[in-house]
């Protein structure tokens, strides 16, 4: 008896109709990172649970309810990574990278896993790309990180981009601010949403992130983090803003922007686009100067961002061009015997020019093969049959203008040049 098994809720297959776009976008990201001097790092898909519990924060949504965690046979608690920063820093420390250079520019493209409620742009397995710049405490480094995040979207033509930037200061200014925020909110406790009421004690800063109108109203007159920053924090933040202006990166200074994860300090930023609906956050990041030390490394300031690839794909999908799915040549075999000759011709053309050539292997009728060539958007078809083989010639047909010529079978590859045009 057969059994039909479905994929796991919140996961998605990337099917051939889409995979080309994925490959191209990933390749753009790889090139873009390399252009800025960033090097790829790959870490394992799972880590000891403690790594995430201790770095992301015990009272965050990720740690309390979204991680895929299990106990291994030896009793170790393991977790599928819900994000990559903790893993990258773990690896940085473990492999003693800081001893090799004062500055490391690292990037990744990999899967992350969170047991969230799936919806458009939100999955349980999703792909993140991001960078971690480890070593510089200076605002130029913050700006380089924001610049890379922003320019990728700009280059890919993403519309309605908004860059939100904030500074949540050093740990001490943050502690003072959280106390002041809590004191302010306490009298309004019953006016807050249930989730914010729960956060009042465990993670009051997160209330600023709330999307609830009730909470927004209460927050209107709340103390602002900016008033709690040290002089040095303010100086840094001002420098970041002036550099962004010089680089023509439009931004909104947004005092309510706090990042959900515990390890951030100083600059935080987020890039959103209203063109992807409710899950409008494309990318988020900021500084995390204490994390390396916290994970046992030498004190190393760091700044980075993480961006969701699926959300970017939602936008690019809409603008995907036909060209992505084009092949150069389809070889039509008029009879079964000539298929073997078509395999040889295809092999020769691909090896000579590195262009996309597809042969018939289903032994279909000529009409069906022509239909297939059209479906694949072939620019040319080569037609071969017993008669052609006997005459030592094939027919090359230009699918755009329907013109055709005969070409010698032994040197058909010479009829295609670098521009994919036959002579």
By C-beta, is 119 or 403 nearer to ligand AMP?
119
HSE at residue 44, side-chain half, CA atoms within 13 A, is 10
Buried-state track 58-90, b at ≥16 Cβ within 10 A, e below 16: eebbbbeebbebeeeeeeeebbbbbbbbbbbbb
By C-beta, is 272 or 332 nearer to ligand AMP?
272
By C-beta, is 57 or 121 nearer to ligand AMP?
121
Query: Which tokens is 40 given?
Result: 């790829």
CB of 66 to ligand AMP, least distance (A): 8
Residues that bind ligand AMP (CB under 6 A): 83, 114, 116, 121-123, 126, 128, 281-284, 306-308, 310-311
CB of 275 to ligand AMP, least distance (A): 13
Q: Which residues are CB-contacts of 418 (< 8 A; sequence separation ≥ 6)?
A: 353
CB of 130 to ligand AMP, least distance (A): 8
Q: For the residues of 351-417, what is the DSSP string, one character each? A: HHH---EEE--S---HHHHHHHHHHTT-SEEEEE-HHHHHHTEEEEEETTT--EEEEEGGGGGGGB-
CB of 157 to ligand AMP, least distance (A): 18
Evaluate whether 331 touches 345 at the Cβ level (below 8 Å). Answer: yes
CB of 114 to ligand AMP, least distance (A): 5
Evaluate whether 266 touches 230 at the Cβ level (below 8 Å). Answer: no
CB of 209 to ligand AMP, least distance (A): 11
By C-beta, is 106 or 307 nearer to ligand AMP?
307
Rounded Cα–Cα distance for residues 400 and 380 (Å): 8
By C-beta, is 121 or 266 nearer to ligand AMP?
121
Within the chain, how many helices (H) and strands (E) appear? 14, 16
Q: In 3D, which of 169, 170, 89, 86 has the Cα closest to residue 135?
A: 89
- For residue 70, the SS3 value is strand
CB of 301 to ligand AMP, least distance (A): 20
By C-beta, is 83 or 328 nearer to ligand AMP?
83
By C-beta, is 53 or 123 nearer to ligand AMP?
123
């Amino acid at each position: 008896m057969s059994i039909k098994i479905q994929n796991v809720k919140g996961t998605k297959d990337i099917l051939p109709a889409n995979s080309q776009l994925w490959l191209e976008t990933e390749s753009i990201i790889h090139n873009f990172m390399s252009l800025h001097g960033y090097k790829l790092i790959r870490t394992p898909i799972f880590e000891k649970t403690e790594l995430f519990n201790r770095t992301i924060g015990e009272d965050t949504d990720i740690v309390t309810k979204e991680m895929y965690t299990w106990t291994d046979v030896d009793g170790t608690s393991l977790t599928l990574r819900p994000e990559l920063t903790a893993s990258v820093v773990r690896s940085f420390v473990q492999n003693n990278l800081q001893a090799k250079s004062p500055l490391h520019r690292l990037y990744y493209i990999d899967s992350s896993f969170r047991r969230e409620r799936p919806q458009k742009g939100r999955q349980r397995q999703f792909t993140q790309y991001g960078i971690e710049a480890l070593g510089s405490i200076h605002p130029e480094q913050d700006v380089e990180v924001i610049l890379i995040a922003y320019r990728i979207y700009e280059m890919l033509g993403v519309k309605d981009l908004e860059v939100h930037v904030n500074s949540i200061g050093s740990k001490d200014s943050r502690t003072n601010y959280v106390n002041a925020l809590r004191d302010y909110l306490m009298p309004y406790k019953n006016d807050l949403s249930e989730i914010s009421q729960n956060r009042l004690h465990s993670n009051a800063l997160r209330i600023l992130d709330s999307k609830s109108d009730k909470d927004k109203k209460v927050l209107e007159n709340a103390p602002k983090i900016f008033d709690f920053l040290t002089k040095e924090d303010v100086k840094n933040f001002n420098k970041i803003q002036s550099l962004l202006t010089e680089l023509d990166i439009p931004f909104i200074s947004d005092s309510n922007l706090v990042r959900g994860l515990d390890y951030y300090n100083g600059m935080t930023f987020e890039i959103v686009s209203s063109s992807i609906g409710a899950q409008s956050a494309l990318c988020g990041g900021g500084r995390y100067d204490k994390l390396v030390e916290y994970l046992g490394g030498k004190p190393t300031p760091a700044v980075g961002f993480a961006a969701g690839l699926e959300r970017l794909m939602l936008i690019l999908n809409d603008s995907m061009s036909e060209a992505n799915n084009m092949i150069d040549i389809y070889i039509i075999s008029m009879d079964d015997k000539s298929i073997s000759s078509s395999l040889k011709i295809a092999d020769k053309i691909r090896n000579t020019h590195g262009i996309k050539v597809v042969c018939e292997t289903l032994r279909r009728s000529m009409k069906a093969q022509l239909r297939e060539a059209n479906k694949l958007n072939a620019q040319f078809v080569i037609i071969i049959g017993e008669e052609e083989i006997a005459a030592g010639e094939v027919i090359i047909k230009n699918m755009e203008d329907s013109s055709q010529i005969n070409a010698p079978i032994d040197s058909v590859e010479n009829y295609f040049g670098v521009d994919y045009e036959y002579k």
